C-alpha cells in the first residue's frame, strides 16, 4: 500500500469528511494501531503487521497472570519488558495524525476518543477525553476497583509481591488488557455512553475486527449517525461507511483539519 496518497483522488472524500465534521459537536472516534504506524509502532494486522508475519500469540495470557500473580510479577521485575515491540512503543512520539486529532478536540468537534492503542501517544499529543479500552502500557490497574496509576507513581516492593491496591486490597496488574482478560467495566460504560451521544463517528487505523471496540461504530450507524473511515486498507466497515478515506492517518488527518478550517472560515 502506498504511503503517498494521491490527494487529487482523495480530495473529494476529504472534503466530504470535513463537511460532516464541521457540522458536528459530538464526534466519537475509534482509533486502532494504524494511527501509530507513522510513529514507528507496527500494527498487528494488515500489511506489514506483526501477526500477519509471525502468527497470533498465545491467547491465555490472563490465565497465566491470575494462576500465579507472584511469579508473573517476579518475572516482570527481573526480566523487564525488553521485547522489540515494547521498545518501539517506549521510544515513540506522536505523529501529525495524533496532533490533528487533538486539534479536532480543541475545535469542539471531537468529544471523545476510544482508542485500542496502549502507547499513550494521544495523551502526549494533547488529547484529553480518552478511553483506553485495551489499557495503557505505562499504567497499572487494580483488578477489583479498577483504580489506575502511572507506573512511575506506584512503588512496588519486590519483597511483597504481588502489589496490592491501597484503596481496596485488590490485586494490581499492568493496565494493558491481556488476552483472555475482561475489559474494565468503567471503560465499557464510558464507550457506550459516548457512542449513544455521537452525532458523527470516525474510525481511524483499525481493522474493526476486535470486539467490543468494533461494535461502537456499528451501534452509531444503526442510529443513522454518519460514519467516516480513515484506513489505507478495506475493513468490514468500508462498505457501510458514509465516507471512506483510503490513506495513512498521519497525512489524511492534517488534510481533513485544514479543510475544516476552510469550512469554518466561510
Per CB under 6 A, residues contacting ligand NAD are: 32-34, 36-38, 41, 43-46, 49, 116-119, 134, 205-207, 210, 230-233, 235, 248-250
Residue 167 binds which entry of ligand NAD, Zn ion, none, CB below 5-8 Å type-dependent: Zn ion
Under the criterion CB under 5 A, does residue 143 sit at the interface with Zn ion?
no
d(CA 139, CA 150): 4
Measure the CA–CA gap between 127 and 113, rounded to whole angstroms. 8
Q: Is 26 a catalytic residue?
A: no
Query: What is the chain's alpha carbon radius of gyration, rounded to the nearest angstrom?
Result: 19
**Residue 179 CB, nearest distance to Zn ion (Å)?**
23
Identify which of residues 142 and 214 has a Cβ nearer to ligand NAD in the complex: 214
Q: Which one of ligand NAD, Zn ion, none is in contact with 195 (Cβ closer than 5 to 8 A by kind)? A: none
Nearest to 209 by CA among 187, 229, 235, 191: 235
Binds 145: which of Zn ion, ligand NAD, none (CB < 5-8 Å by kind): Zn ion
Residue found under cell 507513522: 38
Can you say whether the dihedral through the CA atoms of 152, 154, 155, 161 is positive or negative? Answer: negative
Contacts with 197 (C-beta within 8 Å, 6 or more apart), sequence order: 26, 28, 111
For Zn ion, the binding residue among 142, 214, 225, 257 (CB under 5 A) is 142
When binding is defined by CB under 5 A, the residue of 77, 158, 168, 209 that contacts Zn ion is: 168
Helices assigned H by DSSP within the chain:
7-23, 50-54, 61-67, 69-79, 84-90, 96-106, 121-124, 185-197, 215-222, 249-265
13-21, 84-92, 115-123, 166-174 -> range binding Zn ion (CB under 5 A)? 166-174
Residue 43 beta carbon to Zn ion: minimum distance, rounded to whole angstroms = 33
Q: By the criterion CB under 5 A, which residues form the site for Zn ion?
A: 142, 144-145, 147, 165, 167-168, 170
Amino acid at each position: 500500500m502506498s504511503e503517498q496518497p494521491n490527494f487529487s483522488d482523495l480530495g473529494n472524500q476529504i472534503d466530504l469528511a470535513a463537511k460532516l465534521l464541521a457540522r458536528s459537536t459530538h464526534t466519537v472516534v475509534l482509533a486502532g494501531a494504524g494511527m501509530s504506524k507513522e510513529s514507528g509502532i507496527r500494527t498487528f494486522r494488515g500489511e506489514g503487521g506483526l501477526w500477519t508475519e509471525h502468527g497470533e500469540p498465545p491467547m491465555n495470557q490472563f490465565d497465566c497472570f491470575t494462576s500465579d500473580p507472584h511469579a508473573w510479577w517476579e518475572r516482570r521485575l527481573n526480566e523487564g519488558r525488553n521485547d522489540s515491540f515494547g521498545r518501539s512503543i517506549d521510544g515513540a512520539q506522536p505523529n501529525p495524525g495524533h496532533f490533528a486529532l487533538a486539534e479536532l478536540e480543541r475545535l469542539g468537534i471531537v468529544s471523545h476518543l476510544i482508542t485500542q492503542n496502549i502507547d499513550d501517544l494521544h495523551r502526549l499529543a494533547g488529547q484529553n477525553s480518552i478511553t483506553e479500552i485495551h489499557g495503557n502500557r505505562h499504567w497499572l490497574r487494580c483488578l477489583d476497583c479498577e483504580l489506575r496509576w502511572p507506573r512511575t507513581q506506584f512503588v512496588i516492593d519486590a519483597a511483597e509481591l504481588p502489589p496490592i491496591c491501597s484503596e481496596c486490597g485488590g490485586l494490581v496488574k499492568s493496565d494493558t488488557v491481556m488476552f483472555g482478560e475482561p475489559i474494565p467495566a468503567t471503560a465499557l460504560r464510558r464507550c457506550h455512553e459516548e457512542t449513544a451521544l455521537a452525532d458523527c463517528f470516525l474510525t481511524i487505523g483499525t481493522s474493526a475486527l476486535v470486539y467490543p471496540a468494533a461494535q461502537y461504530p456499528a451501534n452509531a450507524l444503526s442510529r443513522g449517525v454518519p460514519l467516516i473511515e480513515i484506513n489505507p486498507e478495506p475493513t468490514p466497515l468500508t462498505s457501510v461507511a458514509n465516507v471512506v478515506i483510503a490513506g495513512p492517518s498521519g497525512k489524511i488527518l492534517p488534510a481533513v483539519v485544514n479543510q475544516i478550517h476552510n469550512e469554518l472560515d466561510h
